[in-house]
């Protein structure tokens, strides 16, 4: 009788490995970020994110067609307006770039789930996620009404889900109340509950043109060193009415995801952020890694840690690789 277990019996070929595999990726696991920009005939490559572009409304179908063809069920939409001001008026403008993009996409692709990012950073002249006082401090309570107006305007435009990413305290409760009063009681809130003040966001700020003009976001986004605080953030957002939660970033925060999965029985979304994407792309372009294998292994790790869905810029390519 053998004195040790032979784990290799279940690893001997791909058919056996596939048969006993604990976690699998599917195109239906992915959410693809899309950047809508004001203007016409615009397809603007994001230099720090190879393969990612900003699209004007008259060309955005080029990107959405690829999403639908890949079998990806949902997009996360961001808007880049042609005008920014101190009160982020473009964020809640009925005819704002994001609202018009949502209307267009929903009319053309009615079965595609549209998740609208709710934040002010793309629309403020300061680049911060909230209103700023004369001393440069990002004000919390004064920001909540504008976030609520933004969420309601996006729901009115046809967004299936709203996703507040600003990290102001109490914003989920304010948005839930605003949506309900406006008749959108069935619009779910996907909250960026555990969003850290991370250096991994750099390329996104190129894509969304949302870098802060001064200071940083450490007074409202979470300290990367804290995990227990993340659980309190998630718990509070759920109590305020969030239906789903996001952990952001993903790769360096798999412990947060794993603990959130253990504690909370709600849909959990990993955000595989821009810096994570850019690092893989840069290494692949230099011939240092196998891009396909690294990407699929990375995304599998997020699912293994407990993510039900993954927001990722790799989505279209990864969906294609999964079909090979």
Strands 53-55 and 43-45: antiparallel
Please report, for residues 32, 153, 212, 288, 305, the alpha-carbon distance to residue 216 in angstroms, rounded to integers and kept in the order given. Answer: 26, 28, 7, 33, 29
Any idea which fold 23-322 has? TIM Barrel (3.20.20)
Selection from 205, 202, 247, 204 nearest residue 226 by Cα = 247
Displacement of CA 99 from its chain's centroid (Å): 18
pLDDT at 202: 86
Place of tokens 């403020």: 124
One DSSP character per residue, 267-322 reads: -EEEEE-HHHHHHHHHHHHTTSS-HHHHHHHHHHHHHHTT-SEEEETTHHHHHHHH
What's the pTM value of the predicted model, to 2 decimals? 0.95
Q: Annotated catalytic, 213?
A: no
Catalytic one among 195, 258, 292, 303? 195
Reply yes or no: is the peptide bond before residue 259 cis, omega within 30 of 0. Answer: no
Kindly state the helix (H) or strand (E) to which residue 36 belongs, with its residue range: strand 30-37
Any catalytic annotation for residue 149? no
CA atoms within 13 A on the CB side of 72: 30
Check: CB of residue 195 under 8 Å from CB of residue 229.
no
> In sequence order, which residues have a C-beta less than 8 Å from that of residue 288 and are 6 or more positions away?
none
Q: What is the DSSP string of 181-207?
A: HTT-TT--BEEEEEEB--GGGHHHHHH
Average confidence (pLDDT) over 279-283: 97
Encode pLDDT of 92-123 as tens digits: 999 999 999 999 999 999 999 999 999 999 99
Look at residue 324 and tell me whether its pLDDT is greater than 90: no
Place of tokens 């360096």: 252
pLDDT > 70? residue 149 = yes
Residue 2: band (very low, low, confident or very high) from pLDDT cuts 50, 70, 90: low
Percentage with pLDDT > 90 across the chain: 87
Which residue(s) pair with 166 in the sheet? none
Fill in the DSSP letter of residue 262: H
Q: What is the pLDDT of residues 52-84, one digit of tens each?
A: 999 999 999 999 999 999 999 999 999 999 999
Query: What's the confidence (pLDDT) of residue 11?
Result: 94
CB 76 within 8 A of CB 34: yes
Catalytic entry in 106, 149, 218, 248: 248
Q: Could you state, in order of their start, the residue ranges of all structural domains in the chain?
A: 23-322
Taking 60 as the threshold, does the pLDDT of residue 203 lie above it?
A: yes
* CA dihedral of 292, 296, 297, 302, whole degrees rounded to 10: 150
pLDDT: which is higher, 206 or 275: 275
DSSP letters of 55-66? E-TTTHHHHHHH
For the stretch 174-194, pLDDT in tens is 999 999 999 999 999 999 999
For 212-223, write each residue's pLDDT tens digit. Answer: 777 778 889 999
């Amino acid at each position: 009788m053998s004195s040790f277990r032979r784990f290799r019996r279940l690893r001997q070929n791909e058919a056996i490995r596939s048969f006993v595999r604990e976690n699998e990726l599917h195109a239906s696991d992915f959410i693809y970020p899309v950047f809508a920009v004001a203007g016409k005939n615009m397809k603007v490559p994001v230099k720090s994110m190879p393969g990612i572009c900003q699209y004007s409304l008259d060309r955005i179908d080029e990107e959405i067609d690829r999403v639908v063809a890949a079998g990806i069920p949902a997009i996360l939409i961001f808007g880049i307006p042609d005008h920014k001001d101190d009160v982020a008026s473009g964020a809640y403008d009925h005819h704002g770039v994001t609202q018009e993009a949502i209307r267009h996409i929903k009319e053309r692709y009615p079965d595609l789930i549209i998740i609208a990012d709710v934040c002010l950073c793309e629309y403020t002249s300061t680049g911060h996620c909230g209103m700023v006082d004369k001393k440069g401090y990002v004000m919390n309570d004064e920001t909540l009404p504008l976030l609520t107006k933004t969420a309601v305007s996006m729901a009115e435009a046809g967004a299936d889900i709203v996703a507040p990413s600003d990290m102001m305290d109490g914003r989920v409760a304010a948005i839930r109340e605003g949506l309900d009063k406006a008749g959108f009681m069935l619009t779910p809130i996907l909250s960026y509950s555990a969003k850290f003040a991370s250096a991994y966001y750099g390329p996104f700020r190129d894509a969304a043109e949302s870098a802060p003009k001064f200071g940083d976001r450490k007074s409202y986004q979470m300290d990367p060193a804290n995990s227990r605080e993340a659980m309190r953030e998630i718990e509070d957002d759920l109590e305020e009415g969030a239906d789903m939660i996001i952990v952001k970033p993903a790769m360096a925060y798999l412990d947060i995801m794993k603990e959130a999965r253990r504690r909370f029985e709600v849909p959990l979304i990993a955000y595989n952020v821009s810096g994570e994407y850019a690092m893989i792309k840069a290494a692949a372009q230099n011939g240092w890694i196998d891009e396909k294998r690294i990407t699929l292994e990375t995304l599998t790790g997020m699912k293994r840690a407990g993510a039900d869905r993954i927001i990722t810029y790799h989505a279209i390519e990864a969906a294609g690789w999964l079909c090979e």
